[in-house]
Structure 1
Amino acid sequence: MIRVLVVEDSATMRYHLREALTEDPELQVVGEAVTGEQAVEMTGRLRPDVITMDMMLPGISGLQATEHIMAEHPTPILVVSSADRQELFSTYNALAAGAVDVMEKPRGDESDADWSPRLRRTLRMVSRIRVITHPRARLDGRAKPAPAPTPPAPVTPPHPSAMAVVAIGSSTGGPAALTELLRELPANFRTPVLCVQHIAASEQFAVAFSDWLAGQTGRNVRYAQDGVPVRSLAGQVLLAPPDRHVYLRDHVIRLSDGPPRHSCRPSVDVLFESVAAEYGAMAAGCLLTGMGRDGALGLLQMRKRGAITFAQDEHSCTVYGMPREAALIGAAMHILPPARISARLAELHPAAVRR
């Protein structure tokens, strides 16, 4: 039995959530909270297996409730959010604070046809994720910081001053990891960064994510467009658009609606494999937190072609899935938390090479 706490102030939306969950005999609603304070109190008292969290609540917000829960009673949280821009920014802040995943509320159109089964599938997946006290909670002393890992050996690039592109892949937990990695890069880091982040595919969610990430990191973040030469992208962070693969051909950005890989479109493997073929030793690849194995084989191809490759370490991952697969097959030269990956990238003389 998977015990679910529903946090939602709208009676109508609580009804939708209840109705969707009662269709699965293994999902049991153990409580319903209508304020952020109730959400925190009921989490401590009921100790649910998973929480559905609304962002716009009376009293403390869904974001503040998420922060308290992840500091005091870490529990897998699925944010169930509307596509309102203000609420979406709060949603991504909640993901950065330790929430596991996000799902859009019903829109009232044909897209709602499979909403209930998607909710049940997502809750089952989220409930299996082992969460820990989130690092944000450590900033105010509510939890003791973990011991610092032993520093790795310095990275020596195979071709100094020749890094043409950085490719990053992430999934569950990715918004927080991406924010940390990009924020810690030096302000004068000019190498183009291409990123595949598995995220909700609606256009509203996508636009909000790129704007949110830009605001969090102070970097020029936008969605990739077909036909743009890599040499024109100095200082930019490009995200794969929703439901489109992004890859490189003849040193130009290309987009595709080809078949999913590992049930993913965009796929990290598609990006990494093209970077390996196009740039070889003049690239760096980073595989961050996420469920599944997307990106592991592509990262291995990058390493075999001479690229510097990184995987996020287990302690800092929300889900140690994709990076674990990369580590198991020897695809990652260095296994580090996101901030340490940034420091190593900064050592690679990040001047984009004109091709």
Structure 2
Amino acid sequence: MNGKIKVLIVDDSAVVRKILSSGLSKYPDIEVVGTAPDPFVARDKIVTLKPDVVTLDVEMPRMDGISFLQRLMAYYPLPVIMVSSLTQSGCETTLKALEVGAVDFVAKPTLDVSNSLNDVIDELAEKIRTSVRVKIKKKVLKTTDTKRPQTSQALIKTTHKIVAIGASTGGTEALKEVLTQMPPNAPGIVIVQHMPALFTKAFADRLNTLCAIRVSEAKDGESVVPGTALIAPGGYHMALNRSGARYYVTINQDPPVRRHRPSVEVLFESVAKYAGANAIGVIMTGMGDDGASGLLKMKEAGANTIAQDEESCVVFGMPKEAIKLGAAEKIVSLEKIPSAILSFLN
């Protein structure tokens, strides 16, 4: 885009507004055009200042962040990045915000806000740059369907099959779309979704209430079995391993790979090594290139591979890089990923 990225900061804390405003202003391509202490002031400033991106605190006075976000997405859709506290309620509210239409989030620890916020300024700036390229569509608010899905699939072949999925920006909703379509006897699924610690457990618990399969945050040494999806814990790499016919995951805090921990690359490379042709790899929406070369290694090891197409991605970064490498056997829309996975099992 031409010119600076115009940002509006919405937070009830004057301290937070000042730190975010001064912190983001040091980047030559970002201009903080205004701040607002609550959604009502923010509403008027959005109309007059026409920001490209809004940062929004999840917990706000007078009108909570979710209610404001719902109205914004319905009437004046634009990229919104949530600024979330690392609490149980903060995690749950953030996941709801992503469901409603927020593009991404940054987490602010609850202790020593001034120092911790300075630590996330770089992350926030990077996500602002990414979000301004996201296609935002008007979102009609839907009631969350908590019914467990019915599947028309008869018993599918699951012997020793592993499905490995990697996602980043936009991935929480994309993963929900895929996992809610998995039948109860689906192969074991291992997932890396770029998220900080605490959020992955809340995310897994939320998915577990919606899916026919069991979804949980992975534990070191946990078996990968049919009907189960394991999500890498935030802040930890997850790798697949094998002992005889048993697949299991290992969790570690080795240095970040491709600037991420958990890294999709780590997961995919381990799946290529230990599952080979018995695996299916899926790379989905996300910025950067994490997992692209790992998906290629899976393909070279005989695995079936799938990349999400550009049109259905929030950010066409990771799938694009995988496709450029020739790592994707199939390139399909988000809604067709579940059937593509299942087609490889028969």
Q: Does residue 36 of structure 1 match 2:32?
A: no
Change (3 A) 1:257 1:64: same
Instruction: State the partner residue of 1:288.
Output: 284
Q: Name 1:57's counterpart in structure 2.
A: 60
Structure 1 residue identity aligned to 2:19:
H
Partner of residue 242 from structure 1, selected from 217, 234, 252: 234
Residues 1:124 and 1:262: Cα distance change in structure 2 (over 3 Å): closer
Contact kept? 1:229, 1:253, Cα under 8 Å: yes
State the match for 1:320 in structure 2: 316
Partner of 1:125: 127
**1:85 corresponds to 2:88:** yes
Query: Partner residue of 2:151?
Result: none
Closer, same or farther in 2 for the Cα pair 1:313/1:19, shift >3 Å? same
Cα distance, 1:304 vs structure 2? 1.8
In structure 1, give the amino acid aligned to 2:78: T
Structure 2 counterpart of 1:223, from 217, 225, 228: 217
Q: How many residues align?
A: 326
- Asked if 1:102 is matched to 2:105, the reply is yes
Structure 1 residue 4, shift from structure 2 partner: 1.4
- Unpaired runs of 5+ in structure 2? 144-155
Measured after TM superposition, the shift of residue 68 of structure 1 is 3.4
CA contact (8 A) 1:163 1:348 kept: no
Cα distance, 1:162 vs. partner?
Answer: 4.4
Q: 1:108 to 1:32 in 2, by over 3 A?
A: same
Q: Deviations over 1:266-314 (max 9, x none)?
A: 1111111111121222111110111111111111111122222111111
Return the offset for 1:174.
1.0
How far off is 1:260 after superposition? 2.0
3-state SS of the aligned residue for 1:180?
Answer: helix
For residue 4 of structure 1, the aligned residue among 7, 11, 16 is 7
Superposed CA offset, 1:228-258 (max 9, x none): 333xx22111011222211122233112222
Alpha-carbon distance in structure 1 between the residues aligned to 2:207 and 2:336? 19
Q: Give CA-to-partner distance per residue, 1:8-53, whole Å, 9 cap, x none.
A: 2233433333343345565433222333344344324322122111
CA distance in 2, matches of 1:135, 1:216: 24
CA separation in 2, counterparts of 1:324 and 1:138? 30
Say if 2:281 is the partner of 1:278. no
Q: Which amino acid aligns with 1:127?
A: R
- Is residue 23 of structure 2 the alignment partner of residue 20 of structure 1? yes
Given that 1:178 and 1:338 are in contact with CA atoms closer than 8 Å, whether structure 2 keeps it comes out as: no
Deviation at residue 330 of structure 1 after TM alignment: 1.3
DSSP-derived class of the 1:6 partner: strand
Q: Following superposition of structure 1 onto structure 2, how do residues 118-267 of structure 1 map, counting pairs within 5 Å?
A: 118-129=120-131, 130-134=133-137, 136-137=139-140, 162=159, 164-186=161-183, 188-200=184-196, 202=197, 204-217=198-211, 219-230=213-224, 233-250=225-242, 251-267=247-263
Identity of aligned residues (%): 38
- C-alpha separation in 2, matches of 1:24 and 1:267: 27
Is there any run of 5+ residues in structure 1 with no aligned partner, and where?
141-158, 351-355
